[in-house]
Amino acid sequence: MSFTVAIDGPAAAGKGTISKAVAQHFGFAHLDTGLLYRAVGAKVLAGAEPVEAARALTAEDLAAEGLRTPEVARAASQVAVEPEVRAALVDFQRAFAARAGGAVLDGRDIGTVICPEAPAKLFVTASAEVRAERRLRELIARGHVTDFDAVLEDVKARDARDSARTVAPLKPADDAVVIDTSDLSIEEAVAAAIDAISARR
Ligand code: CDP
């Protein structure tokens, strides 16, 4: 039987950590849909045409090195504005969501556009400052040289572009449970997510 968990939210809100933990808890498969847009963004930075890159995406592209950099995140949110890029990625995401045994998808438009019928929807958010702080720590741990102000500016610019676009803008679905992780530990955030999903099962 399929059971889809849709987890949306702004940049660096903790969606990835929560999604992985939730998928493990329930034994569901997990798809980080941001990776699809990052892979397209990376190809565009390498000279590809966005729509062609989206249509030709392969599993190897998703496993490529260097998709977690701020440059690729920026390119991802630029290609993500294009309706034809988004359209090229819909079937793959919906097929993943429908797989037997349950699936967790995290992104920006999972509860609103990709899987509006998902029984469990979460919108994970936190203040821009807290999110920038977390992303800064991740980037430094991966060896990037950057600072808080640069990361905060990136996060805010990406949120503004993701929220303002006309196709599939970042926003909570009407029936999403909102989890603000600003003052929560990872354990508390994961527990809140598991409770919310359990209530919908
Ligand atoms: O990890 P982080 O939250 O910073 O970003 P991500 O989830 O990897 O997404 C990178 C970019 O891809 C976002 O800023 C969005 O512009 C885009 N995206 C999207 O438009 N729709 C999705 N379902 C997932 C990501």
pLDDT at 1: 83
Selection from 48, 40, 37, 47 nearest residue 158 by Cα: 37
Backbone angles phi, psi at 34, to 5 degrees: -60, -30
For residue 93, give the ligand 1 atom closest to its CA. Answer: 23
The two three-digit tokens of residue 144, written as one number:
């990037």
Helix (H) / strand (E) element for 103: namely: strand 103-107
Distance CA 7, CA 18 (A): 9
Determine the angle formed by the axes of helices 83-97 and 34-45, rounding to 10 degrees: 140
Selection from 188, 44, 64, 73 nearest residue 139 by Cα: 73
Ligand 1 centroid from CA 125, angstroms: 13
pLDDT at 92: 97
| Cβ-count burial 30-45 (b if 16+ within 10 Å, e if not) | bbbbbbbbbbbbbbbb
Task: Give CA separation, 110 vs 6, 30, 45, in Å.
Answer: 5, 13, 25
pLDDT at 193: 98
For residue 78, give the ligand 1 atom closest to its CA. Answer: 16
Q: Is the CB of 165 under 6 A from ligand 1?
A: no
Selection from 48, 77, 80, 74 nearest residue 61 by Cα: 48
**CA angle at 149 for the pair 147 and 152, rounded to the nearest 5°:** 110
For residue 110, give the ligand 1 atom closest to its CA. Answer: 23
pLDDT in tens, the chain (201 residues): 899 999 999 999 999 999 999 999 999 999 999 999 999 999 999 999 999 999 999 999 999 999 999 999 999 999 999 999 999 999 999 999 999 999 999 999 999 999 999 999 999 999 999 999 999 999 999 999 999 999 999 999 999 999 999 999 999 999 999 999 999 999 999 999 999 999 998
Selection from 46, 54, 4, 55 nearest residue 26 by Cα: 4
Selection from 15, 2, 22 nearest residue 124 by Cα: 15
**What is the C-alpha R_g of the chain?**
16
pLDDT at 89: 98
Ligand 1 centroid from CA 183, angstroms: 23
Ligand 1 centroid from CA 198, angstroms: 26
pLDDT at 80: 98
